[in-house]
Amino acid sequence: MDEKFSYISENIKKIIFNIEEAKAKYRNSNDVVEIMAVTKTVPYEAVNYAVECGIKLLGENRVQEYLSKKEFYSPKAEVHFIGHLQSNKIKYIIDSVSMIQSVDSFKLAKEIDRLAKNQNIKMNVLIEVNIGDEPSKSGISSVELESLMHQVSQLENIKVKGLMAIPPVGGGEKYFEKMHELFIDIQAKNIDNINMSILSMGMSSDYELAVKHGSNLVRIGTKLFGVRK
Ligand SMILES: *Cc1c(COP(=O)(O)O)cnc(C)c1O
């Protein structure tokens, strides 16, 4: 392993430590919280180093950048798409990602379903919620979430696994609390064909808070690889 990347292994240790601390304080120490490495702008060599350190999940934002790096990625990690996705770009990623976390409309879900059917696969998805109702952000509004869930549950080649959110920067705990409530409410509705197991929230600046409020998948870029260039 290339020692010039040893800071990545130190960073992973710190992140794990902080997650364990948040779990010990606020949750059950047996709860599993997965760490996703968010790879935008990061060279594949650094990404593969993180995988050698035990990271099992990579998060991709940009189709073009992903396509230029994916053949160099270690096959030991799974890849989730987490960025805004245009319908006409799904075809480039559908056969190499194991989940699309950024589904926020029935139109997008239908197109993923159609292409998944062509490939004879079932695609795992998360529904992205715009929990702060920010005009600049993607995601379905929380008031429209349940009806979108019912619509998407009808699609045979899509498996909904949970929710994803990017709460407002500096918004504090209330948005994480709201997401956790939505997650629990929808879980309790037991919608057919929907398995609410993943709550993807928390990034470099707020993952401890997200863990406090029920996140089981944190998406970390900066605190893992350093400030993006
Ligand atoms: C960039 C990004 C992250 C990680 O952001 P950091 O603050 O660098 O940890 C997480 N989720 C999504 C959707 C992103 O685009």
How far apart, in whole angstroms, are the C-alpha atoms of residue 67 and residue 85? Answer: 14
Stretch 6-17: mean pLDDT: 98
* CATH code where residue 106 lies: 3.20.20.10
**Structural domain count, the chain:** 1
Stretch 193-219: mean pLDDT: 97
84 CB within 6 A, ligand 1? no
Closest CA to 82 of 102, 104, 67: 102
- The answer to whether residue 1 scores a pLDDT higher than 80 is no
Closest CA to 179 of 151, 206, 152: 206
Are 55 and 13 in contact, with CB atoms under 8 Å apart?
A: no
Number of Cβ within 10 Å of residue 123's Cβ equals: 24
Closest CA to 112 of 92, 129, 128: 92
Stretch 59-84: mean pLDDT: 98
Domain around 102: 3-225
- 36 CA: nearest ligand 1 atom: 10
Tokens of 120: 């004879």
Q: What is the DSSP letter of 168?
A: P
Ligand 1 centroid distance, CA of 188 (Å): 29
Average pLDDT, the chain: 96
- 228 CA: nearest ligand 1 atom: 8
Please write the tens of the pLDDT for every residue from 90-136: 999 999 999 999 999 999 999 999 999 999 999 999 999 999 999 99
